[in-house]
Amino acid sequence: MEYSSDVDTLVIILSDERSEYGEDVGGNIIIHYAKGGRPVEIEILDASELVISSVEAIALKAREKAS
């Protein structure tokens, strides 16, 4: 996993295979694929926003469960 703070991008490496193409799957997420359609990398743009919103959702769910 690699995070680049200057562009706020998180890259999750799934395989050492070379990426042949990428597909924007929405929500600022791009999945990169090798030949044959195997996913090799997940790229998350504006990663800090995703982390913050995810943590807020988790905290809300925990508060709801606790009440």
pLDDT at 18: 96
In this predicted structure, the answer to whether residue 45 has a pLDDT above a threshold of 90 is: yes
pLDDT tens figures, 2-35: 999 999 999 999 999 999 999 999 989 999 999 9
- Into how many domains does the chain fold? 1
Range of the domain at 32: 2-66
Helix ranges restricted to H, 1-67: 47-66
Tell which residue, 20, 19, 41, has the closest CA to residue 30: 41
pTM: 0.78
pLDDT at 3: 93
How far is residue 1 from each of residues 57, 65, 67, measured CA to CA in Å? 23, 31, 36
